[in-house]
Amino acid sequence: MANALQTVALCCNPRTKSDRAGKKDNIIIYKKKTGDGEYYGRASGNASNDDILGRRNGNHHVAGDGNVIFGPLPYPVARGIEQILIHCAGGIGARGLINKINGVGPKGLSRGGYIKCALQFLEKAGGLGDDGCPAL
């Protein structure tokens, strides 16, 4: 994963407002499964992946524990992967997908850049399936 992140850093600007303020957040992508379906999300913090997920599970509107599926990631990669996962699950409103909002809005100015960064990361990390969706 380190080589994939180095490659992506060359074409994507992984800096966030928190980076510029001297704070380094660890950003994760997680998945929750319930009897109602699946939920994909991202969370961040200045802690380990498991600690961030534990904190998020404690104050999440979707009950149950989640699993970290990617992390740590640069901000643009995380935003793009979250949106790709939602899309690959059928999109907002799809049967079996609990998400009510997109990871990146359909009219968001940075949407294309986030998705491009995420796809480059997934390709380099070997995590992109034949259908163009992350191989989980």
Q: What pLDDT sits at residue 131?
A: 86
Condensed to tens digits (0 to 9), the pLDDT of residues 66-102 reads 999 999 999 999 999 999 999 999 999 999 999 999 9
Q: What pLDDT sits at residue 8?
A: 58
Whole-model pTM: value is 0.85
Residues with pLDDT less than 50, the chain: 17-20
Q: What pLDDT sits at residue 5?
A: 56
CA distance 35 to 11: 40
Structure tokens at 12: 């994507």
CA distance 134 to 65: 21
CA distance 5 to 121: 7
